[in-house]
Structure 1
Amino acid sequence: MTGARPSGLIRDPRSSSRSTLLELLLDVFYIATFAQLSMQLARDLSWRGLANTVILLLAAWWTWSVIAIATDFFDPRERVIQRVLATGMLGVGLMAAAIPSAFAEHGLLFAGAYVGIHLARGLMLVRALRGHFAQLRVKLFLFWFAFSGLLWLAGALTDPELRRALWAAALVIEYIVAALRFPTPGLGRVPLEQYDRLTPHFGERYQQIAILVIGDLVLASTLKLSILGFATARVVIFLAAIAAALLLWQIYVFRTELLVEKSVRRHPRRAVRLAPYVYVVLVAGVIATTAGVDLALAEPFGSTHSGLVALVVGGSFLFLLGRVIFEYELLDRLSRSRIGWLVLMIAVMPALKLLAPIFVVIVNAGILFGVTRTDAWRGRRDAAA
């Protein structure tokens, strides 16, 4: 590890785009987080339970996206950045453990870990960047996370209803001020040119987290099957879930290299500001589908309620929608075939309530297979043009 010289902290755009082993280790902690979130959603399908899961997901995702931006702007081989990553691991581990009871007795544990991640990162970087132009950027981040942190901690000390409102307000503030470049009285905003410092490493980090969340569908389905037993219907659902995971991967990687190239060369500013908001839609989609498969494995031939359909097919809908938005924003292309599949998903959802859960999972995998086939046709057509 090297020392924390302010000038050496800034990543060289010509450096390797590969993630460090410590960054990959951090991502492992998010596997536990995604698994906890999908199980939490499967346990409570009420509107209140959905709101709780969304709040926890947005909080967990924000820790990952802010750290990913930091390790793209700063050199993750530097000692202080490695401390930021290590602190993030500790905080995310505590957050993941607290998820099942975050709106009960462990609210302070979840909120304290979340606030601690952001404040520790900011304080370490402010100190390391003394006298450097990038210190202003960190101060702006730190100011707003300290402000929203008050809402997080206050919410942790109240009843669940008020906690939900305060935590939601904190997230609204954080996501909006980030989109506005952290405007701060007396300090201004993050300069636009700093969003142009995008490297291929940024695209690789987002690819990795997308693959990891798809892996949660595989992990959760495998564990559920091993617990419930290998009845024929459950094995069929399991195989359909694995197929869905592979198809989601194929949908995601279609033109991904082109997206990364365009992000770095043509639209770095747009990519770095858009990615956190679009990818959370992809992540939410896979978590929802995972929760739906969990419910289907529990009762393959039980009654199918609208919530299960919304999780299984609606989750795939969110994943595909996020991918369509990102491609449109960065490549200026709107896939008509994928739009058609999105419309079909919405159209078939009411009818799927008439089928048993096992068939809902199978139909979802069939739709995803159709998406990949039209993608393949588009690829051959574009190659011939």
Structure 2
Amino acid sequence: MTSTSPAGLLRDPGSSNRSTLLELLFDVFYVATFAQLSMHLAGDLTWRGVGQNAILLLAAWWTWSVTSLATDFFDPRRRVIRGVIASTMFGVGLMTAAIPNAFGAQGLLFAGAYVGIHVVRGVLLIGALRGHLAQVRVERFLFWFVLSGVLWLAGGLVDPAWRAALWAGALVVDYVSAALRYPTPRLGRVPLDQYERLSSHFGERYQQITILIIGDLVLASTLKLSVAEFSTARVVVFLAAISAALLLWQIYVFRTDLFVARAVHKHPLRAVRLASYIYAVLVAGVIAMTAGVDLVLRHPFGTPRASWVALVVGGAALFVLGRVIFEYALLGRISRSRVGWLVLMIGVAPALTPLAPIFVVIASVGILLGITLTDAWRGRHDASDR
């Protein structure tokens, strides 16, 4: 079997599971994407703005997750797969550039880039597989992306007032078809055994993108502080943001290696089918918190606003919730301590609304610190978790 044969495109179970340098470069493109999304959210906190940002976020995240799934099934060292990754980078760059005005004049650019990413990937893979059984898998994916692509492109062409509805419908097609294993006329669904072709590469990819997501909080805070007038209050908020990033990292990595091992060896089907949905919650949480910190850095002692509290506290809560769901999905257990902290976050949020924004950020960091200390206690004393 040669590397240029269709079968040679499939990932060899005995090969290295480390991410390639091109995959890491692909992830770097998302640093700009996450930054754009957090700035876009901070710029429009109306219900309409939040809804629009959610659509853009889910589209960007789906592009990353589907590409990651492809590089776990196919060998990213092969020329064709490198071409798929490279072409996706161009599309992600265009999508990212279009985010600020995606619901304005750049709607067709955003939609065209999104559709182009998925269609080009499908065409390249189908041509390279040339009758191999895996070609049917790609055809299923392509069929559904073409269907949703009609809604994406239509949304880019119509009046912005109708765009959100069409794009939301397109996302429903994308996310639900994946959940149903891409049922396709004459081809059926993706066989369950194909979801069990999971390697530790899959877990590593999600760990890497999560670190970059958390890094957006550091990046955005640093850039905002560098252009703002320095003051003691802004420096305090900045240091609190750095602390929050470190604590989010600690909350995420707590026994993550154990979860990845369980995913690969015991629950590969569950991990592959749920990861994209669960991690969307974590991503949304960090972007919301980043947007909130951005606003607080502008006005540390500004007029208290419930929307700012919702971003900072709610963003942290979303991240922790995603991590709780992650643990439950792979281990079948609920972390009672983290659920207790989540309840505290929700309960304390209304009490934080009258306070100056700087104290909202500090309080959120305090709660995140409480979670990490509780985790440390669990790590030492709860032998049943090991």
TM-score tier, shorter chain, comes to: over 0.9
Structure 1 unaligned runs (5+)? none
Match of 1:57 in 2: 57
Per the TM alignment, residue 4 of structure 1 is displaced from its structure 2 partner at its CA by: 3.4
1:20 alignment partner in structure 2: 20
CA-to-partner distance for each residue in 1:291-322, whole Å, 9 max, x for gaps?
A: 00000001000112111000000000000000
1:358 alignment partner in structure 2: 358
CA distance in 2, matches of 1:161, 1:325: 35
For residues 332 and 46 of structure 2, the distance between their equivalents in structure 1, rounded to whole angstroms, comes to: 38
SS at match of 1:229: coil
Rounded to whole Å, the distance in 1 between the matches of 2:339 and 2:189 is 37
Q: Indicate the residue corresponding to 2:211 in structure 1.
A: 211
**Aligned counterpart, 1:275:** 275
Deviation of residue 383 (structure 1)?
Answer: 4.5
How many Å apart are 1:90 and its aligned residue?
A: 0.2
Secondary structure at 1:132 match in 2: coil
The CA RMSD measured in Å over matched residues stands at 1.0
**Partner amino acid for 1:61?**
W
Alignment of 1:203-352 (within 5 A): 203-352=203-352
> Deviation at 1:185?
1.2
1:4 is the counterpart of 2:9: no
Matched length: 384
Q: Matched residues in 2 for 1:193 and 1:161: separation? A: 43
Structure 2 Cα separation of the partners of residues 53 and 199 of structure 1: 33
Q: How far apart, in 2, do the equivalents of 1:14 and 1:228 lie?
A: 52
Counterpart for residue 136 of structure 1: 136
CA drift at 1:229: 2.5
**Once the 2 structures are TM-superposed, how far is the Cα of residue 55 of structure 1 from its aligned partner?**
0.2
Aligned to 2:377: 377
Structure 2 distance, partners of 1:124, 1:133, is 15
Contact 1:221 1:294 in 2 (8 A): yes
**What corresponds to 1:29 in structure 2?**
29
Q: Is the 8 A contact 1:41 1:49 kept in 2?
A: yes
Shift of 1:3: 5.0
TM-aligned CA deviation for residue 382 of structure 1: 2.7
Q: Which moved more, 1:224-233 or 1:263-272?
A: 224-233
**Alignment pair present for 1:99 and 2:99:** yes
Query: Distance between the aligned counterparts of 1:15 and 1:359, measured in 2?
Result: 50
Q: Scaled by the length of structure 2, what TM-score is found?
A: 0.98
State the one-letter code of the partner of 1:172.
V
Other structure's SS at 2:17 match: coil
What SS is found at the alignment partner of 2:382?
helix
Read off the aligned partner of 1:339 and give its amino acid letter: V
Map Cα deviations across residues 41-86 of structure 1 (whole Å, 9 max, x no partner): 0000000000110000000000000000000000000000000000
Asked if the contact 1:4–1:80 (Cα under 8 Å) also holds between the matched residues in 2, the reply is no
The answer to whether residue 81 in structure 2 is matched with residue 81 in structure 1 is yes
Local SS of the residue matching 1:348 = helix
What residue identity is the alignment partner of 2:235? V
- 1:118 aligns to 2:118 (yes or no): yes
2-side partners of 1:18 and 1:365: how far apart? Answer: 33
Amino acid corresponding to residue 359 of structure 1 in structure 2? F
The one-letter code matched in structure 2 to 1:266 is K
Q: What amino acid is aligned across from residue 270 of structure 1 in structure 2? A: R
Aligned to 1:70: 70
**Residues 285 and 318, structure 1, Cα contact 8 Å, conserved in 2:** yes
Going from structure 1 to structure 2, the CA distance change for 1:162 and 1:4 (only over 3 Å counts) comes to: farther
- Determine the C-alpha separation between the residues in 2 that align with 1:281 and 1:202: 18
Runs of 4 or more, structure 1, over 4 Å off, are none
Residue identity opposite 2:107 in structure 1: G
C-alpha distance in 1, partners of 2:382/2:75? 38
C-alpha displacement of 1:332: 1.4
Cα distance in 1, alignment partners of residues 260 and 271 from structure 2: 9
Cα distance in structure 2, aligned partners of 1:127 and 1:370: 53
State the distance in 1 between where 2:230 and 2:177 align. Answer: 49
Displacement, 1:130?
1.2
- CA distance in structure 2 between the aligned counterparts of 1:326 and 1:359, rounded to whole angstroms: 30
Q: Give deviations 1:218-250, integer Å, cap 9, x for gaps.
A: 000000000102210000000000000000000
Structure 2 equivalent of residue 161 of structure 1:
161
Amino acid in structure 2 at the alignment position of 1:204: E
The AA in structure 1 aligned to 2:68 is A
Letter in 2 for 1:289: M
Residue 86 of structure 1 aligns with an amino acid whose one-letter code is A
Partner Cα separation in structure 2 for residue 347 and residue 382 of structure 1 = 27
Shift of 1:131: 1.6
Q: Secondary structure at the match of 2:271?
A: helix
Distance, in Å, in 2 between the alignment partners of 1:173 and 1:90 is 24
| Contact kept? 1:3, 1:79, Cα under 8 Å | no
The Cα offsets for residues 136-155 of structure 1, whole Å up to 9 and x where unpaired, read as: 11000000000100100011
Distance 1:151 1:3 in 2: 37
